[in-house]
Structure 1
Amino acid sequence: MEKRGNRVEGSEPGEKKPFYSRPRQPRPESKSEFVFGIQPVLEAIRAGKEIDKLLIQRELGNIEVLEFARLRNIPTQKVPKQKLDQITRKNHQGVIAFVSAINYAKLENVVANVFEQGQTPLILILDRVTDVRNFGAIARTAECAGVQAIVIPAKGGAQINSDAMKTSSGALNFLPVCRENDLVETVRFLQNSGIQVVACTEKVSKTLYEVDLTVPTAVIMGSEEDGISEILLRIADELVSIPMSGRVASLNVSVANGILLYEAIRQRLG
C-alpha cells in the first residue's frame, strides 16, 4: 500500500487508521480446545473450567447451560446451527464451549497485591486485540517487561488457546490475565486506585517520550482493525503516539506494545 500526499492509498481522505497493521487470518480452532454436547459442557462449567466463550444454537431457547453460563459470567453467543456444524460434525446438540488454556485472575486482587508488595504497577489493557499470535507475542513481551497483569474484555478479544500459549513462549503460565466485562469500569477502577491510564493512539501529536511512566501506570493498546474505542480514549488520563518517520504507515500491535512498555522500563531504570 503506497502513501500518497498525506494519506494512505486505498483509504478515504481524513480516515483515521491505527498505526499497527491488521492481523493475519487465525487458524481454525483445534478440536482439543472445545467441548460439545449439553451434558459435557454442563460438567465442564460445574467443574470450574475456564470457558472463553459458549456458542449455543439459536433455536434452543433458554436451556440449563445458558442459565449456568449467566451465573458464571461466561461470554455467550447464540449462533445458527451451520456455524456449530462447521466447528464439529459430531452431535454437538447445539452447544459448544471453548475452554481457556489458563485460569483468569481477579484484577482487584492483582492491584492490591502489587501495592502491598511495594511495587509500582505496570498493567496492560488490550482493547479488542483479536489475533491469537499477536496476543501471545504481546504476553511474552509484557512478562519480560515485568507487567503485573494483562486485562482483556470478556467479549471481542483473542481466544487464549494453544497457539497463544505457544507464541507467548510460556509467559502466559506466569503472567496473570484478567477478563473484565466492561473496560470502561475497569479503567475507572484503576484510576480510583491511583493508577494513571495511558492510551496509545495515532490520533495525537504528544509522544510516549513526553509522559511520565515512572508512576503507577496502565497502558491501553487497541484493536488491529480500528485502534482503541472512542470511549476509552475519552476517559484515559494521557493519550500518546509512537513517532513514525518511515514510508510504512503502521506497526504490528505487538511491536507497538513492546516500544511503549520498554519506554516505561527505560524511565523506571532512570
Structure 2
Amino acid sequence: MTDTTTIFGIRAVIEALQNNKTIDKIFIQKGLSGHLFQELQQHLKQESYNISYVPVEKLNRLAKGNHQGVVAKISPVEFASLEEVVSQTLEKKTSPLFLLLDQIDDVRNFGAIIRTAECCGVDGIIIQKKGGAPVTADTVKTSAGAIFKVPIIKVDHIKDAIYYMQSSDIKVVAATEKTDDLIYSKDLSQPLALVMGNEGKGISPSVLKIVDEKAKLPLMGTIGSLNVSVACGAFLYEVVRQRL
C-alpha cells in the first residue's frame, strides 16, 4: 500500500481495530454519543491511539460520506518495535545511529527528515504515538520512498525511548539552542541517538532534562532558527563526517 487510507463510520473503524490494522490517527466528533460509539470507546481503551476530538466540519473535509462522527487514517507503513530494532542493530553494528523526533508536527518536514535519515544511514526513527505528525501520503511522497527503508518506531513517550537508549549504552544528544556547545565539539562516532524537537517549541523541557548532552548549530545571520528538517540534515551529516 503506497497511500494512507481513510476509513470512516463507527462500524468500519471498529472492524479495522478488531483486525489489527495499523491505525495512525483517529478523528472523533466532539460530543459524540450513542451505543455504537460506546462500543468503539471500549476498543480504544485497549491500546494507546492517537485521537483528536474535532468539530464536525473537520470530519466533513476528511471524508466524503456518512462518517457518523468518526474518521480514521490507516498508516501506509507498519511500525517497528523499539526493543527489536535496537537489539538487532547492536548485534550488527558497533556504532548505531538513531533519530528521536519530539512531536514534529509537519508531515512534509517529517518526510524530508526521513529521506535525509536514510541517506545518512540512520538505523531507526522514533516518534511519539500522540502529538506528532501522522504518516500520510504527503509524508511518503516527501520521503521519496525512504519511509519504507528505515524502521519507524512509535512509543508512548519520547522519554521512554531515551531511557531505553541510555540503558543500551547509546549516548543521547539533543539538538537545541539552549546550550553553548556546538555540534562540532561533540564526539559523534560512538553509539548515538539524536533528538530533534518540534518546529515551534523545540524539544520538551522534560526531555532536555534527561539527555546526555546538548548541542547546537552556529547561526551566522539574523534569523534565530533553521527549519527542523534542514537542521536535522546538518546534524546528521556532521555525524557522517566524523564517521567517514
TM-score band, normalised by the shorter chain?
Answer: over 0.9
Is 1:194 the counterpart of 2:193? The answer is no
Contact 2:97 2:123 in 1 (8 A): yes
Q: Deviations over 1:2-34 (max 9, x none)?
A: xxxxxxxxxxxxxxxxxxxxxxxxxxxxx9631
User: In the TM superposition, what whole-angstrom CA distance separates every residue of 1:41-64 from its partner, at most 9, and x where no partner exists?
Assistant: 122222222111112233226622
Deviations along 1:167-214, one digit per CA (max 9) or x if unpaired, are 101100111000111111221111111111100011111000111111
Residue 233 (structure 2) aligns with: 258
Stretch of structure 1 that moved more, 39-48 or 219-228: 39-48
Q: What displacement does 1:66 show?
A: 2.1
> Percent identical across equivalent pairs?
44
3-state SS in 2 of match to 1:63: helix
Q: Distance in 1 between matches of 2:59 and 2:177?
A: 38
- CA deviations on 1:117-147 (whole Å, 9 max, x unpaired) are 1342210011111111111010000011000
Q: Which secondary structure does the structure 1 equivalent of 2:243 belong to? A: helix
| 1:89 to partner: Cα distance | 4.6
Greater CA deviation, 114-123 or 137-146?
114-123
Rounded to whole Å, the distance in 1 between the matches of 2:94 and 2:164 is 18
Q: TM-score, normalised by structure 1?
A: 0.84
Distance 1:125 1:229 in 2: 12
1:60 aligns to what? Answer: 33
Q: Is the CA contact (8 Å cut-off) linking 1:114 and 1:121 kept in structure 2?
A: yes
Residue equivalent to 1:206? 181
Alignment gaps of 5+ in structure 1: 1-30
| RMSD (Å) for aligned C-alpha atoms | 1.7
Are 1:143 and 2:107 counterparts?
Answer: no
TM-score (norm 2): 0.92
1:129 counterpart residue number: 104
Change (3 A) 1:262 1:155: same
Q: Which amino acid aligns with 1:196?
A: K
Q: Say which is worse superposed, 82-91 or 191-200, in terms of deviation.
A: 82-91
CA shift at 1:244, angstroms? 1.1
Query: How many matched pairs?
Result: 239
Which residue, out of 170, 174, 179, partners 2:154? 179
Does the 8 Å contact 2:4/2:73 carry over to 1?
A: no
> Could you tell me whether the CA contact under 8 Å between 1:55 and 1:97 is conserved in 2?
yes
Match for residue 47 of structure 1? 19
